[in-house]
C-alpha cells in the first residue's frame, strides 16, 4: 500500500482508543479546503514509508496500541487496502477507516467482511454543493448516497463529519445536510483551520460561538450532533 505518512501514536484520530495513523496518497477529490494538498496532488513525489516499518512499530507497541486509523488522501483507492487491513487485524488491532464515500463497493466489501470497526465519512456539503466543492466532473452523487445509506443501515459503527468553511457552508446549508442525514448515529462539525498545506488559501472558519449556534440548528434533526475541535 502507498503510505506517505505515519503518526505512531494518536489519542484523537480513533475515538476512545490509542492508535497509530497511516496516511495514504492520492485522492479522487480536489476539495478546495483540503489540508493535505501534497498527499492529493503530489503523492508520487513524496517519500514512501514501507509496510515493514509500519508493522514493526505496531508489533513493538503491542499491548499499548488499540488500533490503526487509515486515512489519506482516499484509502479506498488503494488496490491492496484489504490485504493491509487483514495484516492489521491479525495483530489483534481495531481498524478505523476515513473515507469520502465515493467508492461504496469497497466500503461495503470491507465492512461486510468484518475488517473495519469504525468508519468516519466526510460530508462535503449539501448534495447540490458536491460538484463545486470536490471539483469532480462528471459527478455521480449516487455513489455518495449509497455510502450514506449503507452506513446508516447500522452495519458498522460510524460517524459523519463536515469541515465547516464560512465561505462555502451557510447555516442554511448545514441545516439541509442535517435533513439529508437525519437520524445519523453521530455527526460532527469541524471548524476550518487555515494552513500552508491547504489546497486553496483564503478560507475562514466560523467564530466558535457561531458554530455552536449552527450546531443547535443541526441538532433538531440530528440530536447527537456536536462541534469538534472548538473550546
> Quick one: pLDDT at residue 38?
79
Domain covering 3-164, topology = TIM Barrel (3.20.20)
pLDDT at 44 over 80: no
Which residues lie across from 184 on neighbouring strands? Answer: none
pLDDT in tens, 72-103: 889 999 999 999 999 999 999 999 999 999 99
Secondary structure in 3-state letters for 108-176: HHHHHCCCCCEEEEECCCCHHHHHHHHCCCCCCHHHHHHHHHHHHCCCCCEEEEEEECCCCCCHHHHHH
* 46-55: average pLDDT: 93
- Check if the beta carbon of residue 78 is closer than 8 Å to that of residue 1: yes
Dihedral angle, C-alpha 132, 165, 179, 69, nearest 10 °: 90
Domain boundaries, the chain: 3-164
Cell of residue 88, nine digits: 492489521
pLDDT at 231 over 70: no
Query: DSSP class of residue 80?
Result: T
> Quick one: pLDDT at residue 119?
98
- Check if the beta carbon of residue 177 is closer than 8 Å to that of residue 162: yes
> Quick one: pLDDT at residue 83?
98
Average pLDDT over the chain reads: 94
Among candidate residues 68, 111, 112, the one with its CA nearest the CA of residue 90: 68
* 19-23: average pLDDT: 97
Residue 171's contacts (CB-CB under 8 Å, 6 or more residues apart) are 213, 214, 217
* For helices 81-90 and 51-60, angle between their N-to-C axes, nearest 10 degrees: 20
pLDDT in tens, 164-176: 999 999 999 999 9
Among candidate residues 66, 93, 56, the one with its CA nearest the CA of residue 11: 66
Cα(156)–Cα(231) distance, integer angstroms? 29
Cα(123)–Cα(170) distance, integer angstroms? 14
Give me the percent of the chain exceeding a pLDDT of 90.
Answer: 83
- Check if the beta carbon of residue 231 is closer than 8 Å to that of residue 194: no
pLDDT in tens, 116-160: 999 999 999 999 999 999 988 878 999 999 999 999 999 999 999
- For the sheet with 67-71, list strands across it: 3-10, 19-24, 67-71, 94-99, 118-122, 158-164, 187-191, 226-228
Query: DSSP class of residue 65?
Result: B
pLDDT at 224 over 90: yes
**What is the pTM assigned to this prediction?**
0.95
pLDDT at 62 over 70: yes
Amino acid at each position: 500500500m502507498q503510505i506517505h505518512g505515519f503518526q505512531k501514536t494518536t489519542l484523537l484520530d480513533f475515538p476512545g482508543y490509542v492508535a497509530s495513523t497511516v496516511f495514504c496518497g492520492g485522492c479522487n477529490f480536489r476539495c478546495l479546503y483540503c489540508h493535505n494538498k501534497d498527499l492529493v496532488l503530489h503523492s508520487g513525489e513524496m517519500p514512501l514509508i514501507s509496510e515493514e516499518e509500519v508493522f514493526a512499530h505496531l508489533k513493538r507497541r503491542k499491548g499499548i496500541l488499540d488500533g490503526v486509523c487509515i486515512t489519506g488522501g482516499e484509502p479506498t483507492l488503494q488496490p491492496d487496502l484489504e490485504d493491509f487491513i487483514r495484516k492489521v487485524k491479525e495483530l489483534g488491532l481495531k481498524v478505523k477507516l476515513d473515507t469520502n464515500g465515493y467508492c461504496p463497493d469497497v466500503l461495503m466489501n470491507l465492512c461486510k467482511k468484518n475488517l473495519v470497526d469504525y468508519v468516519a465519512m466526510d460530508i462535503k456539503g449539501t448534495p447540490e454543493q458536491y460538484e463545486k466543492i470536490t471539483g469532480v466532473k462528471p459527478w455521480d452523487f449516487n455513489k455518495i448516497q449509497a455510502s450514506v445509506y449503507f452506513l446508516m443501515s447500522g452495519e458498522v459503527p460510524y460517524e459523519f463529519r463536515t469541515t465547516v468553511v464560512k465561505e462555502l457552508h451557510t447555516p442554511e446549508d448545514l441545516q439541509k445536510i442535517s435533513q439529508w442525514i437525519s437520524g445519523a448515529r453521530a455527526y460532527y462539525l469541524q471548524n476550518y483551520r487555515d494552513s500552508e498545506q491547504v489546497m486553496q488559501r483564503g478560507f475562514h472558519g466560523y467564530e466558535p460561538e457561531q458554530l455552536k449556534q449552527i450546531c443547535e440548528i443541526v441538532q433538531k434533526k440530528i440530536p447527537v450532533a456536536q462541534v469538534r475541535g472548538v473550546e
